[in-house]
Amino acid sequence: MMKLRNRRALALAGTAVALSIALSGCSALNDLIVGGANDAQRDEETGEVTEGSNIDIFSLKVGDCMPASDTSGEITDADVVPCSEPHADEVFFEFELAEGDLPTDDEITAEVEAQCVPAFSEFVGIDYYDSTLDFWWLTPTEDTWTQADDRLVQCVIYEPDPADPQASLEVTGTLKGAAR
């Protein structure tokens, strides 16, 4: 198994727990599943967000950019903006967890290391371990796993603030090919 740099290992381990997608209550989950997705306005050809809006978390897609927000605890929705506008986070990769029981946090972290780290290096253009950029991820919870058949893990890139590694700097444009 790949080991993350010490400063990232601590941040990522805490992030896996703090940033899991969860829905508080069955009615909220049912509203999202039955009521249809609240999605952003998107370019028909590229799928890119064309206007800032608040979307349900199940509508978040690779390539979506999000302004700085409190992303701790249970997340049911997200603000998205066109990547050409200032933002803190960008979804750069996603993958599905295997069927069966919901994996433990350690199992999800291992899968994130196996899938998101190589995808990060390809997306940014340099090795993750040489990059000044970092990422966090969104995962299913027990409720979304069992009630919504949610298996999706989304990897979200950001530029840490050198003055506060737990905070993000705002960027304009995609971090794809940033090579830093």
Residue 24 in tokens: 């508080």
**Tally of domains in the chain:** 1
Dihedral class, residue 20 (left if φ above 0, else alpha if ψ from -120 to 50, else beta):
beta
| 100-150 residue pLDDT tens | 999 999 999 999 999 999 999 999 999 999 999 999 999 999 999 999 999
10, pLDDT greater than 90: no
| Domain presence at residue 142 | yes
| Domain presence at residue 66 | yes
- 3-state SS of 85-102 is CCECEEEEEEEECCCCCC
| Domain presence at residue 74 | yes
Angle (deg, nearest 10), helices 105-124 and 6-18? 120
| Domain presence at residue 175 | no
DSSP 179: -
Beta bridge partners of 41: none
Least confident of 18-22, 52-56, 136-140: 18-22
| Domain presence at residue 178 | no
Which structural domain, as residue segments, surrounds residue 62? 6-169
91, pLDDT greater than 90: yes
Whole-number average pLDDT of the chain: 83
In which element (H, E) is residue 138 found?
strand 134-138
Q: What pLDDT is recorded for position 23?
A: 38
- Angle, alpha carbons 90-91-94 (nearest 5°): 165
Q: What pLDDT is recorded for position 166?
A: 79
| Domain presence at residue 1 | no
What lies within 8 Å, CB to CB, of 89 at 6+ separation is: 65, 66, 68, 71, 136, 156, 157, 158, 168
Report the C-alpha gap between 179 and 142 in whole angstroms.
37
Please state whether the predicted TM-score (pTM) of the whole model is above 0.85.
no
Rounded average pLDDT over 9-29: 40
Q: What pLDDT is recorded for position 165?
A: 77
The fraction of the chain above a pLDDT of 70, given in percent, is 78
| 29-51 residue pLDDT tens | 444 443 445 899 999 999 999 99
| Domain presence at residue 23 | yes
Place of tokens 């929705």: 77
Residue 76 has φ and ψ, to the nearest 5°, of -115, -20
pLDDT band of residue 167 (cuts 50, 70, 90) is: confident
| Domain presence at residue 53 | yes
Least confident of 24-33, 89-98, 116-125: 24-33
